[in-house]
Amino acid sequence: AQSVTQPDIHITVSEGASLELRCNYSYGATPYLFWYVQSPGQGLQLLLKYFSGDTLVQGIKGFEAEFKRSQSSFNLRKPSVHWSDAAEYFCAVGAASGGGADGLTFGKGTHLIIQP
Amino acid sequence: DTEVTQTPKHLVMGMTNKKSLKCEQHMGHRAMYWYKQKAKKPPELMFVYSYEKLSINESVPSRFSPECPNSSLLNLHLHALQPEDSALYLCASSQGARMFVAAFFGQGTRLTVV
């Protein structure tokens, strides 16, 4: 079974500083990886996804993530954060088993706090 | 239209009530999902419908009953819930039978059981 670990429960970053959120996955085959963002009381918004090909993936809102198979990681980055980036960030892995639909397995999330 | 619409946004119900949550998408997606999210926790998969057929039921108690009347609609019928069922219920949809193709979540229904 697949699993996702987000080692950082909380991260505090100053506005304008760079950001990296860590994600490690465990999956026997090629994983399908996602980053979602959730503002309080809201649904989840897809930031970016990785299926195959180029290991550096560009997403919305200036985010990018890099897939590193050797480290089983899919870390999320942004060069300069804005106060509006404060939210909960979830890394998720999807299985690619044959037949039927597969749901996502989420990490526990990283709460991002932006300092002025 | 790239939205998954969930109604109602908020719901308070007693333990003896029967209520339903509704989810709608018009993106032509053929897989739809229900997730449950407790406060400060990640979403947990409850049910998956693929081509209007239930394909995954993650050992959810029978007081939750999903229904997929057509490819655009997904309902979750609630009956005799417990206070611990209070949570944010999220609906999602994806194109085809694999979640990775395109995954869109609704804004959720905040359910409180009293």
pLDDT one-digit tens code per residue, A77-113: 999 999 999 999 999 988 655 444 567 889 999 999 9
Which residue of A lies nearest to B98 if distances are taken between CA atoms?
A: A101
Per-residue model confidence as pLDDT tens digits over B4-47: 999 999 999 999 999 999 999 999 888 899 999 999 899 998 99
What average pLDDT does the segment A4-11 reach?
96
Query: Of A20-24, B51-55, B64-68, where does mean pLDDT reach its minimum?
Result: B51-55
Q: Is B23 exposed, middle or buried (0-12, 13-18, 19+ CB in 10 A)?
A: buried
Contact: A41, B110; criterion CB under 8 Å = yes
State how far residue B94 is from chain A, nearest Cα, in angstroms.
Answer: 9
The pair phi, psi for residue A62, each rounded to 5°, is 80, 10
Q: Is the peptide bond before A79 cis (omega within 30 degrees of 0)?
A: no
Per-residue model confidence as pLDDT tens digits over B60-109: 999 999 999 999 999 999 999 999 999 999 999 988 666 555 578 999 99
SS3 B83: helix
pLDDT value at residue B83: 96
Question: How many whole angstroms separate alpha carbon A39 and alpha carbon B105?
Answer: 13
pLDDT value at residue B57: 79
Percent of chain A at pLDDT exceeding 70: 92
What average pLDDT does the segment A14-40 reach?
91
Contacts of B49 in chain A (CB under 8 A): 101
pLDDT value at residue A15: 97
CB contact B112 to A (< 8 Å) = no
CB contact A108 to B (< 8 Å) = yes
Q: How does residue B56 score in pLDDT terms, banded at 50, 70 and 90?
A: confident
Contacts of B106 in chain A (CB under 8 A): 43
pLDDT value at residue A29: 74
Q: In sequence order, which residues have a C-beta less than 8 Å from that of residue A105 and are 6 or more positions away?
A: A1, A2, A3, A4, A92, A93, A94, A95, B45
Across the A:B interface, residue pairs with CB atoms under 8 Å apart total 78
Average pLDDT of chain A? 90
Strands A87-94 and A32-38: antiparallel
